Amino acid sequence: MGYQIKKFDSGESLYINGNKKIKIPKDSAVKEYPILSHYNNVTNYFGIVLDIGIAIKPHTIISIFVDLPADTGIYVYSGNYYTIIDKIENFKKQFSLYGTASDGMIYRYFKTKYTKKISGAHKNKIPTNINIDNNSNTWQIVNKIIFEAESLNLFSNGKKVIGERIFINISDKEFVTIKLNNEPSEKGFKIMHHSLLQKKKGIKSNVVEMRYGI
């Protein structure tokens, strides 16, 4: 677990993780929840990089699944309020530039394989569905998918955590949109409140345009 919680007779407690110490009010609890493994001090953009690109015929829709990396968010919970106080990192972070230095974006990338079926429950993985709609008149090869990390909601059925379905629309190679619709990757799952409440006002949109290829 890596951290300690020291309790006092007053009902308050102290969260301790190395040099970090945080006072927890009484009637509050410390809870662990999965969060998408990103580092917003560098960038809020997250990129799924497929280990093998997927070719899609013109005017065809396909559905694939990937496992996204999950860090562990440490939250203070009180009533209906969740406040993140710490994060346990389970994956090394790697970054890259998408586009040009003057008009591109830095994104945290994660290389993974894709499958045709959703995977089982895993503490450090977030199974996520990706729908790809090739509306263009030519074959397209998808190698990467970029979106805003804190726009991705997580869902649970009490036993398993999954990600939000990601929609990709390809008009042509130079105009691709990535959209999140608050829809779970599998039926029967409900949104996790800590996921919904961790969103920041700085998020511009749940749609990202990829103009430098996919």
* Per-residue tens of pLDDT for the chain, all 214 residues: 589 999 999 999 999 999 999 999 999 999 999 999 998 889 999 999 999 999 999 999 999 999 999 999 999 988 778 889 999 999 999 999 999 999 899 999 999 999 999 998 888 999 999 999 999 999 999 999 999 998 899 999 989 999 999 999 999 767 899 999 889 999 999 999 777 654 444 444 578 988 888 8
Residue 176: per-residue pLDDT: 93
Residue 186: per-residue pLDDT: 95
Write down the residue that tokens 């309790």 correspond to. 7
Write down the residue that tokens 């955590």 correspond to. 161
Q: Which of 109, 107, 110 is nearest to 43 (CA)?
A: 107
Helix-, strand-, coil-residue percentages of the chain, each rounded to 5: 5, 60, 40
> Could you tell me if 198 and 165 are in contact, meaning their C-beta atoms sit under 8 angstroms apart?
no
Nearest-angstrom CA–CA distance, 122 and 67? 9
Instruction: Please calculate the CA angle 35-181-51 and round it to the nearest 5 degrees.
Output: 60
Write down the residue that tokens 């809870």 correspond to. 31
Q: Which of 109, 113, 120, 111 is nearest to 161 (CA)?
A: 120
> Could you tell me if 71 and 55 are in contact, meaning their C-beta atoms sit under 8 angstroms apart?
no
Write down the residue that tokens 């996919």 correspond to. 214
Residue 1: per-residue pLDDT: 59
pTM: 0.88
> Which residues are CB-contacts of 52 (< 8 A; sequence separation ≥ 6)?
113, 114
> Could you tell me if 169 and 200 are in contact, meaning their C-beta atoms sit under 8 angstroms apart?
no
Nearest-angstrom CA–CA distance, 117 and 107? 27
Nearest-angstrom CA–CA distance, 20 and 15? 8
